[in-house]
Amino acid sequence: MISFAMIYPEALIAAAAMILLLWSAFRGEKAVREVGAAAFAVIIGATVLLMRQSGKELLFHDMFVVSDFTRLAKGLILAASGAALLFAPGYSIKGREPLKPEYFVLILLATLGMMLMVSAHDLIALYMGLELQNLALYVLVSIRRDEPKASEAGLKYFTLGALSSALLLFGLSLIYGFAGSTSYEAIADVLARTKGIHYGLSAGLGFVLAGMAFKISAAPFHMWTPDVYEGSSTPITAFLSAAPKIAAFGLMIGFLGGPFGSSLSVWSSGLIAVSILSMFWGSLGGLPQTDVKRLMGYSAIANMGTILIGLVVLDVKSVLVYLAVYALGTLGVLGGVTLMRRGGAPVQSIRDLSGLSQTHPVLAFVLAAFLFSLVGVPPLAGFFGKFYVLMAAVSAGKAWLAVIGVLASVIAAAYYLRLIKIMYFDEPKGLPLDPVSGKISSVAVGLLAVATTGFVLCPAPLIEAADRAAKSLLLP
């Protein structure tokens, strides 16, 4: 007997996405507002349904798992998607192709894919969720057809994404070939029976990890990140910077911690190398950037490296806390960028920030809060993520990795500080930016800022939820 309550959130999003797609097909572009509002309502509804669930269960012939862990990861994904929806008004530019209803439908579909990724308990389910997410994201990145940079970004993202999906699929098929099953349980059984890991399985695992590293933009599979971040419209960049990362880590925790949990030593050394490389590449590569969005791309690379520290020691709690506070920071910065306009056109160059504290004191203040949070300075939220990840490394006897991590974070601090310096220490240059208009986006950015600065007052709910999530997995 399947209890369908466990898939209500996913079912709601799937049904709503299809209905809204039809609706917008009939109503045409007039439907933007109502589809947008409906999509937001669906996200809220799915969150409510998610919160009403409890317990751990396997559904659909063990293909789909629901637990405290998947619930928290999905909750974070939904929150990030909701924020990205609220940034949507930042998409429209006077005299350009207007926002289309597909934007919202695609975000819903991508969100659905991410939720499936988190709940995947079988290689097929894993790949299905991943591809649903990917296809929706490829379109979203290049949704602004009249913009050459967006097309370029979409093409790059698609080509490299398809390559990485192929690698991943090849890895999955190797695993299937050598384990004889796509089910996580069966793979775990095979690994438990044999002494050590078969070379075919480890080769398959290697390919899967390479494909996943691409999805989370970890070095050396990160090349697409700055270009795609720069080329997509800012609300999409914000979406890309948070939700897919949470989903990919959810998937990796389920996959690596589940069937391959017993062969931690096989994959952890490779991931440690990826982690260190990402932290340094992201930190050093960000230094010479002149575009805020490209810079956030490098920041993503560096942060993913840091989260990988939590993953290689399989400390689920630290990974979740870090993901949550990182999402706050990156959504906040990119959300703030959606509010920056000059003469109606969006600006995204670092130079445009100069003297922002004098022309737009409130915007400058919230951006500074997000940036300090990304630096990891207490008492802002970002510090807690760093704290838990470093704690995880130290508890696992990998203090040296923690030291490498903090050294890289000092390098990265330099470019966040440069942004703050330009906003606060420099005089305004050139034409002033327009006064902040977009009400909905401003409210969303404001809420993120409150969460970032106020987190220190009441960190317990998130941390306890992450704790429960980690316990629900019962990792080795």
Partner 1 sequence: MTHTPWLSLMTFLPLVGVALLALLPKGDNERTAAFSRWIALGLSCLVLVIALCALRAFDPAQAGFQFVEKRSWIPSLGLSYHLGVDGISLWFVVLSALLSPIAILSGFAVKQRVRSFMAALLLLETMMIGAFCAQDFFLFYIFFEGVLIPMFLIIGVWGGDKRIYAAMKFFLYTFLGSVLMLVAILAMIQQAGTSDMSQLAGHKFPLQMACLLWIGFFASFAVKTPMWPFHTWLPYAHVEAPTAGSVILAGVLLKLGGYGFIRICLQMLPDASAFFAPLVVGLSLVAIVYTSLVALAQTDMKKLIAYSSVAHMGYVTLGLFSGTREGLEGAMMVMLSHGLVAAALFLCVGVLYERLHTREIARFTGVADVMPRYAGAMMAFTLASVGLPGTSGFIGEFLSMQGAWLYDGRVAAVAALGVILGAAYMLWLYRRVFFGSPVRQDVQAMQDITLREGAMLVPLLVLVVFIGLYPTAVRSVYQKSLEKVGLPTIQVAEVKP
- Per CB under 8 A, residues contacting partner 1 are 357-358, 361, 372, 375-379, 383, 386-387, 390-391, 394-395, 399, 402-403, 406-407, 409-410, 413-414, 417, 420-421, 424-425, 456, 459-460, 463-464, 467
Write out the two tokens for 283.
Answer: 């930190």
Write out the two tokens for 157.
Answer: 């993202």
C-beta of 426: minimal distance to partner 1 in Å? 8
Q: Which residue's CB is nearer to partner 1, number 44 or number 406?
A: 406
The answer to whether 229 touches 299, Cβ cutoff 8 Å, is no
C-beta of 473: minimal distance to partner 1 in Å? 16
Q: Compute the radius of gyration of the chain from its Cα atoms.
A: 21
Q: Which residue's CB is nearer to partner 1, number 61 or number 429?
A: 429
The answer to whether 77 touches 108, Cβ cutoff 8 Å, is no
Q: Which residue's CB is nearer to partner 1, number 143 or number 295?
A: 295
C-beta of 25: minimal distance to partner 1 in Å? 47
b (16+ CB within 10 A) / e for 368-396: bbbbbbbbbeeebbbbbbbbbbbbbbeeb
Q: Which residue's CB is nearer to partner 1, number 264 or number 417?
A: 417
b (16+ CB within 10 A) / e for 399-412: eebbebbeebbebb
For residue 315, what is the DSSP state? Answer: -
Q: Which residue's CB is nearer to partner 1, number 344 or number 361?
A: 361
C-beta of 325: minimal distance to partner 1 in Å? 14
C-beta of 403: minimal distance to partner 1 in Å? 6
Helix and strand numbers, DSSP H then E, in the chain: 19, 4
Q: Which residue's CB is nearer to partner 1, number 15 or number 403?
A: 403
C-beta of 387: minimal distance to partner 1 in Å? 7
381 phi and psi, to 5 degrees? -60, -40
Residue 438 CA neighbour count, 13 Å, CB half? 27
Q: Which residue's CB is nearer to partner 1, number 48 or number 410?
A: 410
C-beta of 459: minimal distance to partner 1 in Å? 6
The answer to whether 453 touches 371, Cβ cutoff 8 Å, is no
Longest dimension (CA), the chain: 69
